[in-house]
Structure 1
Amino acid sequence: MATHTAAWIKYKHAPLELGPAETPSPGPGEILVKVRFIAFSPIESKQQKIEVHPLTYPNILGLSFSGVVESVGPDVEKFSKGDNVAVARPHDKSNDPRFGSIQQYALACVDTTSKLPSGEFLESGAKVVLNLATVTAACSHFLGLERPGLDKPKSPRGERILVYGGSSSCGGLAIRYATAAGYEVVTTSSPKNHEYVASLGPAVVIDHTNPPDKVIEDLQAHGPYHRILDTIGVPPVTNIITKYLSGACGGSYNTLIPVFPGTNPIPDNVERRFESYSWIFNNPEHEEFRKWYYDTLVPQGLESGVIVPTPSQRIDGGLANTQHALDLMNRGEVSGHKLVLDPWD
């Protein structure tokens, strides 16, 4: 059988090692993709460091990538050889290394794959396909926001949304998603990333590097908020949001991160909601939502400019430098950018 190069994690917490992997043939509902861009997410570095979700080993990490269809499974009609695609690894394939993105060829499930308008969107597609799924589920399913207009922004709704962490990948995508749906967005950023965040279209950008009491004062000045989405979730941010809400007669908000040690007790009149957001796309009850996301929002959102991916930070050197990418995220050295890598470098 033909082989290709992959970055393997051989055991729990192990550093990545390059080695051969058998190049598989796609089965029903699957396609084989020649990977062109790997997009890294912090969850992958956390998976290596603290094993957020149990894995079997050896395995290949990686949750999102883009590339060109090499071959299709026996029942696949939606995709053809040569199509440009963006892929999110399904949750139920986390223990199947053939679906990991950190390799030169990977299997993809057609249900979590978007066909891109052209090859020029390959890098953008890799960067958004995973995090945008989280944002879409959080905003429209859990927070109840309307879906965005893809040909033109929807009319103003007169409702204000707080997106905490506008320079994060999910934060930036949430700003674009909500503004295109007609909501007025207040967000936060450091001065370093202010210009980029402001370019995404929020009404207000609060400096979250100020002392906590000043940040809370600014949140109060620009509220109240119809909905709140926290895309950062670390203890200092949780403490700020819960203190703000508690002083505003209480309420609930959604966050993308579970509670970390060191977080202050949540006030009795505040509810902090964490969900496994994109898992709803696995539920047959939400089949229309899943199809709209992969078949419409990703390709049309990118082509129209409604969806704006986080700026790239390229990792040179191909698969040999994948451990370096994970280390950068573990050390907190990535801000306002999405790490991407070409496995053929």
Structure 2
Amino acid sequence: MPEQKALYLAEKQGAFALGTAPIYKPGPGEILIRVESVGLSPGDWVIQDLGVLVETYPAILGFDLAGTVEELGEGATRFKKGERVYVIPHLTRNFIQLVVFGGAGSVGQAAIQLLKLSGFDPIITTASLRNADWLRHLGATHVLDRNLSPEELHAEIRNITPEYFTTIFDAAGALETQNLGYDLLASGGTMAAVHPDAVKPEKKVEDKKSFFMFADPNIPQNRKLGNSLFANLTELLENRDFKPNHVEVVPNGLEGIIPALERLKSGVSCVKLVAHPQESA
């Protein structure tokens, strides 16, 4: 059976290692994609560090993939061989929004733009102030310094609006931002965070919810929204209504992903790291 190179997470909370995997044969209604670009996601190192979301190992991770259609399964008629496509592989979980903590990250930038397109106002976000102009360009109405203490951020947000929030999206997911976000929630409000729930138990009350959010358009309750978003994505990009991330391509193909994930874990700002698997030695 033909094989391809693959980057495996060998075991739960283990190390990444380069190996091989059989090339998939698409079944009825399926397509085979030749992957040409892989966007590195915080989810990749979170899964490695915390051992969440994935149950079976060894595992091949990856959340943002782009390439060309290589082969069509029986009855697959929507796409043509050689057509350029973008996909989000299936893992599992849910999506929500309003105050956006961590606005300069890839997820935060997308959230700000979707909030703007959905008519939200104001859109308050936190980020390094060197990225403030770009985030305002994307649609943020207020950019607050992420280096402020939780107490200072609370006061700044209260100066913008005295109202408490029914929805908060924490694209940073840190202990400090989750607890601040929970404090800012109104009765009946909900906060979604991109890392496991870190709200202090003593803060928890029955009428405020917080949960670990992973946006997967493939699960049944998200398919209608996912289909709508991706059906309109090309037009949104062409019209510049939705602006892509600044991109930095990391060298050395699959091997380059391992040090790049360490760099991502340490913190990158306002840039999407992308690897080209076909450049592996």
Band of TM-score, shorter chain: 0.7 to 0.9
CA contact (8 A) 2:39 2:272 kept: yes
Cα-to-partner distance string for 1:214-238 (whole Å, 9 max, x where unaligned): 2111100112356432222211112
Q: How many positions carry a matched residue from both structures?
A: 275
Which residue pairs with 2:275 in the alignment? 341
SS at match of 1:77: coil
Which residue pairs with 2:228 in the alignment? 292
1:3 matched to 2:20 = no
Whichever residue aligns with residue 235 of structure 1, its letter is: L
Whichever residue aligns with residue 22 of structure 1, its letter is: P
Shift of 1:287: 4.6
Q: Distance in 2 between matches of 1:309 and 1:264?
A: 38
1:324 matched to 2:255 = no
1:211 matched to 2:149 = yes
Cα-to-partner distance string for 1:231-266 (whole Å, 9 max, x where unaligned): 222111122223344xxx6452322233238x4632
**2:181 alignment partner, one of 237, 241, 244:** 241
Which residue pairs with 2:63 in the alignment? 63
Which residue pairs with 1:165 in the alignment? 102
* Identical-pair percentage: 26
> What pairs up with 1:293-308 in 2 under 5 angstroms?
293-296=229-232, 298-308=233-243
Whichever residue aligns with residue 273 of structure 2, its letter is: L
**2:138 alignment partner, one of 184, 200, 207:** 200
TM-score for both structures, normalised by structure 2? 0.86
Q: Distance in 1 between matches of 2:54 and 2:217?
A: 20
Which residue pairs with 1:183 in the alignment? 120
1:272 matched to 2:188 = no
Shift of 1:34: 1.1
Distance 1:46 1:171, change over 3 A: same
Which residue pairs with 1:232 in the alignment? 172
Runs of 4+ off more than 6 Å: none
CA contact (8 A) 2:129 2:143 kept: no
TM-score for both structures, normalised by structure 1? 0.72
Q: Distance in 1 between matches of 2:81 and 2:254?
A: 24
Q: Which runs of 5+ in 2 are unaligned?
A: none
CA contact (8 A) 2:113 2:242 kept: yes
Distance 1:251 1:55, change over 3 A: closer
SS at match of 1:273: strand
Which residue pairs with 1:314 in the alignment? 249
Q: Distance in 2 between matches of 1:79 and 1:289?
A: 21
Q: Distance in 1 between matches of 2:207 and 2:119?
A: 27
Cα-to-partner distance string for 1:141-175 (whole Å, 9 max, x where unaligned): xxxxxxxxxxxxxxxxxxxx422221122211111
Shift of 1:320: 1.5
CA contact (8 A) 1:312 1:340 kept: yes
Which residue pairs with 2:49 in the alignment? 49
CA contact (8 A) 2:8 2:60 kept: yes
CA contact (8 A) 1:230 1:255 kept: yes
Whichever residue aligns with residue 171 of structure 1, its letter is: G
Q: Distance in 1 between matches of 2:49 and 2:168?
A: 30
Q: Distance in 2 between matches of 1:64 and 1:230?
A: 20
SS at match of 1:7: strand
Cα-to-partner distance string for 1:260-301 (whole Å, 9 max, x where unaligned): 38x463253861332545357422x665333212322x2222
> What pairs up with 1:48-197 in 2 under 5 angstroms?
48-91=48-91, 137-139=95-97, 161-184=98-121, 185-197=123-135
Deviates more, 1:272-281 or 1:310-319: 272-281
Q: What's the Cα RMSD here?
A: 2.5
Whichever residue aligns with residue 86 of structure 1, its letter is: Y
